[in-house]
Every structure is written in structure tokens, then in C-alpha cells.
Amino acid sequence: GQNIDQPTEMTATEGAIVQINCTYQTSGFNGLFWYQQHAGEAPTFLSYNVLDGLEEKGRFSSFLSRSKGYSYLLLKELQMKDSASYLCAVRDDSTGRRALTFGSGTRLQVQP
């Protein structure tokens, strides 16, 4: 099975940088996703990592280390609208099931 851990809550200041960590344990790893979810809304795709390293996309970057079972999402130049939950999700193909397994999410509060 999979075990995905991420912090429950984080607080940061507008304009600052915040790093949200995610650790996972899985036997058939085939990709890690980050989604953003505002309260009461559907998750929206932010990033995808399948190889080690950093993927940068505007203010958001995502890093993966497969050997450590570790990823982080980096948000730069924080804006108030970045207040949301950030979900880490892992794809595990070991069982033939190609669905994603989600962590519980990290609720980020951006303060003025």
C-alpha cells in the first residue's frame, strides 16, 4: 500500500516563500502530483514529477527525490489567493491500479 505524509497546516506572509513537504512510501512509484484546492472547490493540477529533480513553472516549483521518497512544492512571491489546500498524490502501478493516492493535504494560510 501507500503512505503519504504532509503537514496539516502552514502559515506564511504575503510576498514570502513557502515550502510544503511530502513523503511517501510506495512499491511501484510512477509519478507524483501536486494539486491546489480552494475550499469547496475541485482540485486543480499544479505539477507532475516522475524523475528526480526540480520542475519550475512560474511561481511554483516541485522537487522529487525517488530514493528518499520525498517531494516538495515551493511557492514564491506568495499572494493572498495562494491560501488553499495543497494535495500531494502518488501514482503506484504495482497493483495494476492506475488511480492516484492522495495525502491529507496541507492547508496554507497566507497573511498580509
CB of 25 to another protein, least distance (A): 16
Task: Report DSSP state, residue 83.
Answer: -
Q: Enumerate residues 89-108 that contact another protein by CB under 8 A.
A: 89, 91, 97-105, 107
Closest of 8, 20, 14 to residue 111, by C-alpha: 14
Q: Enumerate residues 41-80 that contact another protein by CB under 8 A.
A: 41-45, 48, 50
Q: Is 29 in a helix, a strand, or coil? A: strand
Cα(first)–Cα(last) distance of the chain, in Å? Answer: 40
Task: Locate 17 and state its grid cell.
Answer: 516563500
Contact between residue 59 and residue 73 where contact means Cβ atoms under 8 Å apart: no
Residue nearer to another protein on the CB measure, 8 or 67: 8
Please choose, out of 14-22, 52-60, 74-82, 83-91, the segment that lies near another protein by the rule CB under 8 A: 83-91
Binding residues vs another protein (CB under 8 A):
4, 8, 31, 33, 40-45, 48, 50, 87, 89, 91, 97-105, 107
